[in-house]
Structure 1
Amino acid sequence: MDEEYDVIVLGTGLTECILSGLLSVEGKKVLHIDKQDFYGGESASLNLSQLYSKFKPSGQKPELKGRDRDWCVDLIPKFLMSNGELTNILVHTDVTRYIEFKQIGGSYVYRNGRIAKVPSNEMEAVRSSLMGIFEKRRMKGFLEFIANYDEDVKSTHQGLDLDTNTMNEVYNYWRLENGTKDFIGHAMALWPNDDYLNEPARQTYERIVLYVQSVAKYGKSPYIYPLYGLGELPQGFARLSAIYGGTYMLDTPIDEVLYEDGKFAGVITKEGKAKAPIVIADPTYFPEKVKKTGQRVIRAMCIMDHPIPNTNDLDSLQLIIPQNQVGRKHDIYIACLSDVHCVVPKGYYLAIISTIIETDTPHVELEPAFKLLGPRIDTLMGIAELYEPQQDGSKDGIYISKTYDASSHFESMTDDVKDLYFRVMGKPLVLKKRPNAEEEEGLNGL
């Protein structure tokens, strides 16, 4: 196989597959290799046997209905913001042709011991059970300020400067209560902790706008999700790469990495030698070139035969437990899906809990979430260490992605994609708006 390529990509995680798709479209000759025999790497969706052999190899498997392949359980539960960057990349590259999406039924937050719907606009804020009557008025004023804010029209700024005023100062200007700050910051701006309060308000403003626009796009919630699980996303980008001449090899371990003058030069596999001046890889391929971020994520996949109580029997939702509400430093996320998304057989629900570990007994940290779920048929848990590259890749031609974090959406992952694209290509990723009919209709299935 002694062949020359422009780029070799190792691992078929979502980050790697998006990049191999984008680079193939740019005319690069891409070779994409994965040591595993399925797509998706850390972001794969597993069938029932794969799931149990990974998380409970010697454990008792409960009697569950349906065929093995009726189950598609994500290793990393995340939803797409319907107006977010990943959705923009999907539309820009036409990968939407291969994947059908379904909306997520609702967005909820845990507050004062109960579950409440997150208000997505001024009208819902007025009806929300989260606030008293005066607080509702203040919240309505705050949301109107966000909606009407115009950089060039001073009168819309209310005397605030998003680049110098902290988010806490903006909240205080509207006299918002701590509980209201909590759900705006954690369930709308989707910050994982409270550090953002003392930072300039600009980024939080942008996050709230993204949330509100995402809700406005299809109603109900800001989130969408691919049928048959997130494992469909890497495969969609892999097809894109293949259409543009990319070569894929699954189940192909790397026998040796080749270097010339300290720089990456290629790899040797059972198929022979493949040469390229640069490589994009997930952290598992170059353990000596990554460092631990110091954070670990625990995820629990809960199989249930009922929807989450107190959520209007919705077929899917996101539920956020803000850290303040349960005396933690990091939020706890719950993603719930059902047969409507083709990830479990009819009659089952899948709730996946994730958070950053703070103690020596991580499973105990999930108790507040378990309490909200009600009875569970089975629970499978996994812990993942988070890694990031030690260097930017410019010296040795080795560009490494970051591990997927505990957040409940893909915005941090797309930041990593754009960052890697810029380092590899030397120019920013520009997503062209496509004024075709398909764009007008939105995504498949919605």
Structure 2
Amino acid sequence: MEEVYDVIVLGTGLTECILAGLFSAQGRKVLHLDKNGFYGSFTASLNLSNLYNSFCPGVEPPAHLGENRDWNIDLIPKFTMANGKLVKFILHTESVANNLEWKSLDGSFVMQTSSGGIFSKSRPKIYKVPGNDSEALKSDLMGLFEKKRCKKLFKFIQNYDPENVETHKGLQLRTLPFKDLIANFGLEQNTIDFIGHAVALYTSDEFLEIPSHEVMLKIKLYMDSAGLYGDSPFLYPVYGIGGIAEGFSRLSAIYGGTYMLNKEIDEIIIGEEGKVVGVRSGDEVARAPIVLCEPTYVLNIGKVRPTGRVVRAICILNHPIPNTGDAASCQIIIPQRQTGRHNDIYISCVSYAHFVCAEGYYIAICSTQVETDSPEGELQIAFDLLGQVLETFIRVYDTYEPVDDGRADNIFVSKSYDATSHFESACEDVLDLYHRITGEPLDLEQPLRPFIQQ
């Protein structure tokens, strides 16, 4: 450890591992430390013993769940858009792509609460999310005339080309709020809900005020991802998302990166000029002009501010989630308006088909941004959709963001992982950090050209 490096990285979460891998491949000398005894940090995939030790110290896993080798349970499950940024990161680095195997998600669903009638009560129901104009016509989400209106909108967005004004239909889409665009199509509120939350993947109704151009690009991403590698726009790695972080860690190691686990950081050392010069662990000091870290490493030095809390519940089932067509894997989004909340609720479900649990079992993880003093109660509507649950592990996570861009002292801090069930926001953070640290944007359209020592 007691050497001089170009970059010191603290924490082995996915964000940090991607950047460590890129920096090492580009010829920088990287030291990567983690206070935990396993790779992945918050994005780790744990076996049964590690899961129980993390949530219920001293409690042994039930014998009926089988062997440790059959389980790889994500602490923070997230799916990957087939044409999204994480896939582009992986394709950018050939060695990582060659060591990962993926499966397409069986289905993406959205919950809506049906209106009650004279002889019936309103009740929540989940529907498959249409990803293009033809699926919109077949969807049970909408009535006949609404399907035609939705198809018309999807067709308009599918044909949209930011550089071709003929596809803009005379609209100023870079400034026109999305709510004004959809007003032209006469869509119902429930339709607007699923488009904004389950297709464009916004976490709140902020998308209504955002310029149409930005929202349409997110919808196009969903459309472009659907059918690219299967029927769903989402992918999930076999053996869990911890394998992605490990893949980028291997990339760093191939090009000389040094890794150390179980390494507590006692001090981030600031030099006389106000810039970082290294880190101290016990009596050992490693020096570098740049430190990249997770928020938990700088809680006490004024580098981050709290952004709220996220509650996540890991639920082990012995059956698929009801009303999903026995899907071995799926995502369910519960839009805020359907529950009277300010934030969406997410359910991610994977199974033995992905080698993350023993045969016959399913892992459903429910998450949302905490809004009350009873976080577990905020997930009740999600629990109601799961059916019988065998085991539940619940934890509330504090979330943080950096207070500055890091350029003043060269301490660059990543954001905490949000409640969403996909990696798009985390990948935006990677791109932003790379730009801030190197001063140049990362071009994901070009393959990585590794540095070769002469």
Same fold (TM over 0.5): yes
CA drift of 1:101 comes to: 1.1
Q: Distance in 2 between matches of 1:272 and 1:181?
A: 56
Partner amino acid for 2:153?
Answer: F
How many correspondences in the alignment?
435
Moved more, 287-296 or 143-152: 287-296
- Secondary structure of the structure 1 residue equivalent to 2:244: helix
Q: Distance in 1 between matches of 2:246 and 2:61?
A: 29
> TM (normalized to structure 2)?
0.93
Q: Distance in 1 between matches of 2:3 and 2:404?
A: 28
1:346-365 matches, within 5 Å, as 346-365=359-378
**CA gap 1:278/1:79 in 2 versus in 1, 3 angstroms:** same
1:378 maps to which residue?
A: 391
Moved more, 70-79 or 251-260: 251-260
**Does the Cα contact within 8 Å between 2:307 and 2:401 map onto a contact in 1?**
no
CA drift of 1:15 comes to: 0.6
**CA gap 1:220/1:271 in 2 versus in 1, 3 angstroms:** farther
**Does the Cα contact within 8 Å between 1:292 and 1:385 map onto a contact in 2?**
no
Partner amino acid for 1:239?
Answer: R
Q: Distance in 2 between matches of 1:153 and 1:283?
A: 42
Partner amino acid for 1:149?
Answer: Y
CA drift of 1:54 comes to: 1.5
- Secondary structure of the structure 1 residue equivalent to 2:186: coil
CA drift of 1:271 comes to: 8.0
Q: Distance in 2 between matches of 1:293 and 1:41?
A: 19
2:229 maps to which residue?
A: 218
Partner amino acid for 1:79?
Answer: F
Q: Distance in 1 between matches of 2:341 and 2:2?
A: 54
2:275 maps to which residue?
A: 263
Deviations 1:85-119 (A, max 9, x none): 11100000121111111111111111122111001
Q: Distance in 1 between matches of 2:57 and 2:2?
A: 39
Deviations 1:359-400 (A, max 9, x none): 111111111111111000011101001111122111111111
CA drift of 1:270 comes to: 5.5
1:401 maps to which residue?
A: 414
Deviations 1:138-177 (A, max 9, x none): 1111111001112343332223222121111111111111
1:176-325 matches, within 5 Å, as 176-261=187-272, 262-269=274-281, 272-288=284-300, 289-325=302-338
1:101 maps to which residue?
A: 102
CA drift of 1:327 comes to: 1.2
Partner amino acid for 1:47?
Answer: N
Q: Distance in 1 between matches of 2:198 and 2:243?
A: 26
**Does the Cα contact within 8 Å between 1:290 and 1:387 map onto a contact in 2?**
no
CA drift of 1:247 comes to: 1.0
- Secondary structure of the structure 2 residue equivalent to 1:3: coil
**Does the Cα contact within 8 Å between 2:298 and 2:304 map onto a contact in 1?**
no
> TM (normalized to structure 1)?
0.94
- Secondary structure of the structure 1 residue equivalent to 2:227: helix
2:25 maps to which residue?
A: 25
Partner amino acid for 1:410?
Answer: F
Superposed CA RMSD in Å reads 1.6
**Does the Cα contact within 8 Å between 1:37 and 1:250 map onto a contact in 2?**
yes
- Secondary structure of the structure 2 residue equivalent to 1:336: strand
**Does the Cα contact within 8 Å between 1:258 and 1:268 map onto a contact in 2?**
yes
**Does the Cα contact within 8 Å between 1:120 and 1:212 map onto a contact in 2?**
yes
Are 1:164 and 2:175 an aligned pair? yes
Q: Distance in 1 between matches of 2:76 and 2:126?
A: 23
**Does the Cα contact within 8 Å between 2:401 and 2:415 map onto a contact in 1?**
yes
Q: Identity, % of aligned pairs?
A: 51
Q: Distance in 2 between matches of 1:310 and 1:40?
A: 33
Where does the alignment leave 5 or more consecutive residues of structure 2 unmatched? 114-123, 449-454
2:12 maps to which residue?
A: 12
**Does the Cα contact within 8 Å between 1:62 and 1:378 map onto a contact in 2?**
no
CA drift of 1:434 comes to: 4.7
- Secondary structure of the structure 1 residue equivalent to 2:64: coil
1:50 maps to which residue?
A: 50
Q: Distance in 1 between matches of 2:185 and 2:32?
A: 52
Q: Distance in 1 between matches of 2:68 and 2:102?
A: 22
Q: Distance in 1 between matches of 2:307 and 2:37?
A: 30
